[in-house]
Chain A
Amino acid sequence: MRIARDKTAGEQVAKYLCKFVQSVCVLAFGLTITACSDTDRGTNLSEGITNKKVRQYLLEHPELVFDDPEIARAISSARSARQQQASALWRKSILAKNASLLDSSLTPVSGDAGSQVTIIEFYDYQCVPCKASYPELEQMRETEIDIRIIYAQLPVFGSYSILAARAAIGAHRQGLFQAYHNALMTADIRLDTDSIFAMAVDIGLDTEKLQADMRDPHVIDYLEQMQTLADELDVTGTPAFVVGDAILRGGIRVKELKVELDRQRTRSHSSRGV
């Protein structure tokens, strides 16, 4: 009898707990690790169950969390979402701090300043995945409206990459960035001084002015600042695309860019209350 009575009682407890967990598990996932916030503690969830009670129960029965793969997955997902959110906020703050660098007259840009989404591409003219991503980004530029692309030079492949980056800024000063950028991105040769200047001549750049600009301390300093920004954003190689407040690392296709772009647009709409 005692056993039967206990079993009945156990079933009741189990049933209660099951309902209890089901009803609050979505909220509890996050709370299991970090403890619920003070403001939630008095919230009535259902039938008098409060977060405080949930928390107390979970503290007494932590195995409920780590023995259940579904809960573990949900926790992992919530954690990841939180991490992404924190990273996005942090990136936003860094971009805001560096607005003057990004808006500098030395920064080549495509699209309007008021565009809904800004893409910053960190790239190197000797980086193979950067070159592979170039036509994809170009396609995006032609087909998508309301986007702005910032071309952030990040020469990481040595001296000739630095030289090419300086030359690109010089070309931008002469109003011929896109043509020169296209030449460098599509060139299937190893860059050296001769090829960098030959391409400049081909597109009609004033090479004397270009040389002077490539030695301009402002240009050299600008490129150093751009590397500092890349370091702050935890860009660890090229290419890297900062899309709104997200970051995509490595070579990319239009499809992937589009997914992130849409996500940013949706969030932008939501934040505007649309």
Chain B
Amino acid sequence: MTNKHRFIISFLIGLQVLSVSVAEPLVIPDPTNYPSLSTKKMGHVRHMINLAKQLDGDFSMMGETDPVYSMSFHAYQFQIAFAQYALASTHYHYTPAHRDLYQKASARLIQRMIYKDVWDYWAHVSKFDLTNRTEIEAGLEEMTTYTEDDWYGWIDPNIKKNIMYSGHLLQMVGLHQNLFDDDRYDEPGSLTFRFAPIEYGQGPIEMKYDSHRLAKVIYDQFEEDHFRGIECERNAVYAECNQHPILGLMSYDLKNGTNLSVKVRKEFKKVMRKRKYINPETNTTMYFLKVKEDEVVPATYAWADGWNGHAQYVWDKEYIKSIYPDQKKRYFPSMLRGWPFENMGWGVSFDFGFFALLASEVGDTETVQTMVDYADEHFEPTWKDGGYYYPHTRFYVYNFFRDWLGYIHNVGPLTGNVLVGFASINPIDGLWKIYNQPRGKSHFAEPFITDVEYLEASVTQAVYDGDKDALIVTLVPGPVESEATSFTVRQLDPEKTYALVRDGQVLGEVNKKTSLALPSTKWQADGSLVISTRLTEPQSFILKAMAATLAAR
């Protein structure tokens, strides 16, 4: 072959490559095709993050400790745990490419969860069999029977019973580890409980846990109890409380390659069916099981169905889907409007919040929207420092009555701070996907953003689309106005050239290897790209890897 021939062949190949490149248009993904948080949903997220950022011992906006039992369904532990689950759902579905904010908030919530004021109720509650109680004249309940054994409780909130606390902690730790590929809770003592009981004349006590010990303690109790469920208070097994440790064990299995959750799910389901934890005639979840009496206390509580259902759905989807229509029929629309001044009972706020959460998980978007609209109309929504929530009503522990038009206004802190927001954010199969379609290790090698100034900007979507090799980010202004804000993009491929698109307009291209940048961008030594912008209204950014440079087009 002569040089002339070689030249002609090379020329033809080059022409073909060029024609392919030129023929391929720059296809920019449309941000509206990706999940995005609305203004109110973002407000709910910010409110929960604001709660996470409070000092460990600052429970303002979170209600009071129940005067009767020291804890209740309004308790801090539930607010903290469900806030973490809600943020997990947000991160997984809307902002998987924005980790640092959610990872920090999640770690803060776990730190708050192990703060003494959240769990030291157990030193008191562990003494009593709460199933034996009666109402006294003042309308309060008191424990009426004690045994000698009952007088001695214990402090460690995880070691035995109290699954209403330890189960949530395990779920929180599992979510954190898998969503953020973060091993910190594997370290011995990473979950250290500090207790300084002046009442007992003892010195300070430390109880050291980590994810492994916590999972073992809980699994062992499931086995000891023959999978009938671990007690919350003495003598009381609640179905819903046992769903959270199951989800925690599912995460544990995923991370550690064990299969603890498989046996628990199988055996617990058997017991649930045999003892009718969910009554097959009414399709409603029991109140609780009295262990000593071996007696299931039946119930028709929307909160029990909502609470148990949204979590059991994660591992028993078809069954929960099959009973949901019956449950909805039972509670709707009567939950929303009824007789004027009707006494709705102490569970009215939980009924609302937990049922909305179940509706979101099973994908009944119409019901969710109806309930969220109702909350917006009747629960006095409030904006505070970029956060959106429904402040708890003054007498939420005692006042359960409808107003003169038959509406409910009573909101407890769990529903107002977390549950309604969680329901509005959580898409169909929201938790189910987190557990059944977990992100693989490759997710953590994809491009993602960090260092968004929390005061100035909120990220309503941040997703890397692998098929399109594009990072899609939308920012909206935060509570503090600023002339300019910025965010950092990490793990871009230094070999690739990316088109930077803002609000649909191609600004130009960037390339780390050739130090190609734009006036609003700056490459850092570590390979990350800082993008600055003036943010006065929502702005979307897309970084799209290109097959050829724009100039070649």
Q: Which residues of A contact B203 (CB under 8 A)?
A: 82, 86
Q: Contact: A217 with B451, CB < 8 Å?
A: yes
> A223-246, CB under 8 A of B: which get 1 and which 0?
000010011001111000000000
> A80-119, CB under 8 A of B: which get 1 and which 0?
1011001100100000000000000000000000000000
Q: Contact: B451 with A227, CB < 8 Å?
A: no
Q: Assess whether B136 is interfacial by the CB under 8 Å rule.
A: no
Q: Contact: A162 with B455, CB < 8 Å?
A: yes
Tell me how far the C-beta of B64 lies from the nearest C-beta in chain A, rounded to whole angstroms: 15
CA distance A158 to B57 in the complex (A): 16
Q: Assess whether B316 is interfacial by the CB under 8 Å rule.
A: no
CA distance A87 to B194 in the complex (A): 13
Q: Contact: B58 with A156, CB < 8 Å?
A: yes
Q: Assess whether B54 is interfacial by the CB under 8 Å rule.
A: yes
CA distance A234 to B481 in the complex (A): 33
Tell me how far the C-beta of A192 lies from the nearest C-beta in chain B, rounded to whole angstroms: 8
Q: Contact: B455 with A159, CB < 8 Å?
A: yes
Q: Contact: A33 with B201, CB < 8 Å?
A: yes
Question: Number of A interface residues, CB 8 Å?
Answer: 27
Known: A79-B198, A83-B198, A90-B204. A156 touches B54 (CB 8 A): yes
Q: Which residues of B contact A236 (CB under 8 A)?
A: 55-58
Known: A80-B198, A158-B385, A159-B455. A193 touches B58 (CB 8 A): no
Q: Which residues of A contact B56 (CB under 8 A)?
A: 231, 234, 236
Tell me how far the C-beta of B55 lies from the nearest C-beta in chain A, rounded to whole angstroms: 6
> B472-493, CB under 8 A of A: which get 1 and which 0?
0000001111100000000000
CA distance A198 to B55 in the complex (A): 29
Q: Assess whether A34 is interfacial by the CB under 8 Å rule.
A: yes
Known: A34-B201, A193-B482. A159 touches B385 (CB 8 A): yes
Q: Assess whether A176 is interfacial by the CB under 8 Å rule.
A: no
Q: Assess whether A163 is interfacial by the CB under 8 Å rule.
A: yes
Q: Main SS of the interface on chain A?
A: helix
> B183-200, CB under 8 A of A: which get 1 and which 0?
000000000000010101
Q: Assess whether B220 is interfacial by the CB under 8 Å rule.
A: no
Q: Assess whether A160 is interfacial by the CB under 8 Å rule.
A: yes
Q: Contact: B57 with A163, CB < 8 Å?
A: no
CA distance A236 to B55 in the complex (A): 6
| Chain A residue with the shortest CB-CB distance to B198 | A83
Known: A86-B196, A231-B111. A79 touches B201 (CB 8 A): yes
CA distance A234 to B479 in the complex (A): 29
Q: Which residues of A contact B43 (CB under 8 A)?
A: none
Q: Assess whether B453 is interfacial by the CB under 8 Å rule.
A: yes
Q: Assess whether B386 is interfacial by the CB under 8 Å rule.
A: yes
| Chain B residue with the shortest CB-CB distance to A30 | B201
Q: Which residues of A contact B57 (CB under 8 A)?
A: 231, 234-237
Q: Assess whether A215 is interfacial by the CB under 8 Å rule.
A: yes
Known: A33-B201, A83-B196, A156-B55. A193 touches B481 (CB 8 A): yes
Q: Which residues of A contact B200 (CB under 8 A)?
A: 33
Q: Which residues of B contact A231 (CB under 8 A)?
A: 55-57, 111
Q: 8 Å CB contacts to A: which residues of B200-224?
A: 200-204
State the A residues within 8 Å of B (CB).
Answer: 33-34, 75, 79-80, 82-83, 86-87, 90, 154, 156, 158-160, 162-163, 193, 215, 217, 227, 230-231, 234-237
Listed by A's residue number, 8 A-B pairs whose Cβ atoms lie within 8 Å are A34-B202, A86-B203, A86-B204, A158-B384, A231-B57, A231-B111, A234-B57, A235-B55
- Other than A235-B57, A236-B55, give 8 A-B pairs with Cβ distance below 8 A: A33-B201, A83-B196, A160-B480, A163-B455, A193-B481, A193-B482, A230-B55, A235-B55
The 9 residue pairs across chains A and B that have the minimum distance between CB atoms = A236-B57, A33-B201, A158-B385, A231-B56, A159-B479, A159-B455, A159-B480, A83-B198, A79-B201
